[in-house]
Amino acid sequence: MRKIALLTSGGDAPGMNACIRAIVLTCLRYGIEVYGYRHGYNGLLDQEYLNLRAKNVLNIIQRGGTILRSARCLTFKSDDAAKIAAKNLDILGIDALMVIGGDGSFRGAKHLSNHWGGQVIGLPGTIDNDIYGTDATIGYYTAIETALSSIDKVRDTADAFERIFLIEVMGRHAGFIGLNAAIASAADQIMVPELQRSCEDELQNIINHIDAVKRRRGTSSYIVVITENLWPEGVTKLAETLTEKTQIECRPVILGHVQRGGSPVSQDRVLATKMGAFAVESAMAGETGVMITEVNQQVQCAPLEVSWSKQKELDPYLVKIQQDLFDLLKRP
Ligand code: F6P
């Protein structure tokens, strides 16, 4: 193993820099040259790269975003693009490519491996935590913290006005951030894709719950955490509907991309460092077509296809607790 290249792709996630740092330093420890492609797969197509040295990764562990920049590269789906990438990797003499990103980026890595003889390794980096086969993804814990600190702040103003707030969190089509941020902030209700009923049922359920809670504790703040892309007409419309139906002011708050930024929390830095170092050692051991996962604190390799083979489930016990607490709030 003489040369390793890496890139960050798709939605950036806090901890990607920590992962880049771990890969670079582990490579240097083993005397491997390391190159970073910029702007995701685009950099691979455009030969936009830099030789990474220890000084490039100094003081980056605490920084959000990615020093290599990121992008979504739709053209990479074509065979022609994968062939160009393969040629460019060969020109540079790369033995293994590391891709830090989500399942879309992993599909890109798999596609590349059909056209390139080098080794390909994926590292799960996404705030959504929607990658099957690993307990957590890099960036997920920080996103929960960011959502949580915002929900706590909204609770203050919600309490002051005794209003309903709908807080939209990211997650693409997965409720991991939503469920965990809701539990940690003692939100009154959650709406996540995994537990979704029909829109009419969802709406009626919230209205009934608000009524029951009001009977039990009088007028008070009421917080609903809702995953993005869930309500067909959007949360602003849902807030209007709730205001009309309950006669209590309801405001929408869309947390958006703030959840992708910020300094990574320690869990993300440690996970990123562990996975980054393990990725290099796995490449040295000859692994290819795999992603790095962590299951019960054991870092390991799994085929890239595992990441999209099944839908990752929410922790059923956490779901049960959340539902039990809702029911408790309703009791007279
Ligand atoms: O996958 C990460 C993510 O932040 C999702 O939570 C969200 O749906 C999406 O990316 C947003 O993408 P973009 O930055 O392209 O708007």
What are the tens digits of pLDDT across the range 67-111? 999 999 999 999 999 999 999 999 999 999 999 999 999 999 999
Report how far residue 30's alpha carbon sits from residue 1's, in angstroms, rounded to the nearest whole number.
9
Report how far residue 280's alpha carbon sits from residue 30's, in angstroms, rounded to the nearest whole number.
9
> 128 CB less than 6 Å from ligand 1?
yes
Ligand 1 pocket test, candidate residues 168, 170, 229, 230, most atoms within 8 A of CB: 170
pLDDT of residue 40: 98
Q: Does the pLDDT value for residue 330 go beyond 70? A: no
Q: Whose CA is nearest to atom 14 of ligand 1?
A: 11
Which atom of ligand 1 is the closest one to the Cα of 127?
2
**Taking Cα atoms as reference points, which of 64, 73, 141 lies closest to residue 104?**
73
Q: Distances in Å between the alpha carbon of 216 and those of 163, 202, 231, 273?
A: 16, 21, 28, 48
> 127 CB less than 6 Å from ligand 1?
yes
Numbered ranges of CATH 3.40.50.450 in the chain = 3-139+264-309
CA 157 to chain centre: 28
pTM for the full model? 0.97
Assigned fold of 142-260? Rossmann fold (3.40.50)
For the chain, give the mean pLDDT. Answer: 96
What are the tens digits of pLDDT across the range 214-231? 888 888 899 999 999 999
Burial class (CB in 10 A: 0-12, 13-18, 19+), 106: buried
Region 309-317: mean pLDDT is: 97
pLDDT of residue 331: 67
Q: Does the pLDDT value for residue 319 go beyond 90? A: yes
Report how far residue 140's alpha carbon sits from residue 128's, in angstroms, rounded to the nearest whole number.
6
Cα torsion through 297, 299, 303, 304, rounded to 10: 90
> 168 CB less than 6 Å from ligand 1?
no
Given pLDDT bands bounded at 50, 70 and 90, which one contains residue 332?
low
> 202 CB less than 6 Å from ligand 1?
no
Q: Does the pLDDT value for residue 30 go beyond 70? A: yes
Candidate CATH numbers 3.40.50.300, 3.40.50.720, 3.90.400.10, 3.40.50.450; the one for domain 3-139+264-309:
3.40.50.450
Measure 228 CA to ligand 1 centroid, in angstroms: 10
Q: What is the phi/psi pair of residue 279, to 5°?
A: -60, -45
Numbered ranges of CATH 3.40.50.460 in the chain = 142-260
